[in-house]
Structure 1
Amino acid sequence: MTRHRNNGGAHPARFVDPARLPGPDAGLLFLRLAGSALLLYVHGLPKLMHFSAELQHIDDPLHLGHGVTLVLALFAEIVCPLLIAAGWLTRLATLPILFLLFVSMALVHPDWDVATGQFAWLLVIVFGTIALAGPGEYSIDGHQQR
């Protein structure tokens, strides 16, 4: 630790000790919680709260039927984020979300450019990172691996 000259009674300047900064596991926890909360709040909960209205106008790009499509979307936007936030079956839980995002961008909104679809791309980045990196130590999955 380096101290600077103390002029006039001010506290000495201290440099941040990198060893005391949160590590990658804390970053993965933040990513899981923030990404999951965002997906739940912006997409999942509004669909659930307005189920009947959503059923009337949801796109059915895979021709599964509007009801099946909505239930699958709710699974990806409510159940999967809850699993990811808890860190349980984390990598597996990212797959329906990523699938939903790619179907939405490729089949439902093929006209979107990067700027228009930036929220979807950011979700791909968040959940893709979680899929690749795993949940980290602060998770049910991480705890079970010990």
Structure 2
Amino acid sequence: MHTAQRNEWAPDAGLLFLRVSGGLFLLWVHGLPKLLDFSAQLQLIEDPFHLGAHLTLSLAIFAEVLCPLLIVAGLLVRLACLPILSVLLVALLVVHLQWSVAEGQFGWLLLILFTTVFIAGPGRLALNVRLPGVLRYA
């Protein structure tokens, strides 16, 4: 492969790495623990909008399990970023507003990561490229 061809695919490889590593990290650290220990998590989850612990936890699981899986696969990537960004913003700006930047650095880094994916899109190494029309850009 010529250098020009390698460089042509470098941004897409970078986006693939960002999507897969970020999505799996969020899934492993936040999503799966909530999903696999649902009952215990019901007692721990904050409910800042008074939706009820069950609904709040279900929404968090949607954002931290299903959405990262879509992002890793490269399906509806920009749409899948929105619930993740929402959960992160609520956590950082509502639930843990008292945290310093140092205390919330993991959340801020995830916010930066998934905002980047949202802005840049999934790249050419994603299943999105196989979807018709407007879904390709979602």
Identity %: 57
Structure-2-length-normalised TM-score: 0.89
Quote the residue 2:91 is aligned against: 104
Quote the residue 1:44 is aligned against: 31
Structure 1 unaligned residues grouped into runs of 5+: 1-16
Structure-1-length-normalised TM-score: 0.84
> When you count helix as a share of all residues, which structure comes out higher?
2
- The DSSP-based 3-state class of the residue aligned with 1:114 is coil
Whether 1:24 and 2:11 are equivalent positions in the alignment is: yes
- What value does the CA root-mean-square deviation take over the aligned residues? 1.5
Aligned length: 130
Q: Structure 1 140/19 Cα, relative in aligned 2: closer, same or farther at 3 Å? A: closer
Whether 1:85 and 2:75 are equivalent positions in the alignment is: no
Amino acid at match of 1:106: L
1:110, 1:82 → 2: CA distance?
Answer: 28
- Off by >2 Å, runs of 4+ in structure 1: 17-22, 142-145
Quote the residue 2:63 is aligned against: 76
- The DSSP-based 3-state class of the residue aligned with 2:124 is coil
Give the number of the structure whose alpha-carbon radius of gyration is greater: 1
Structure 2 unaligned residues grouped into runs of 5+: none
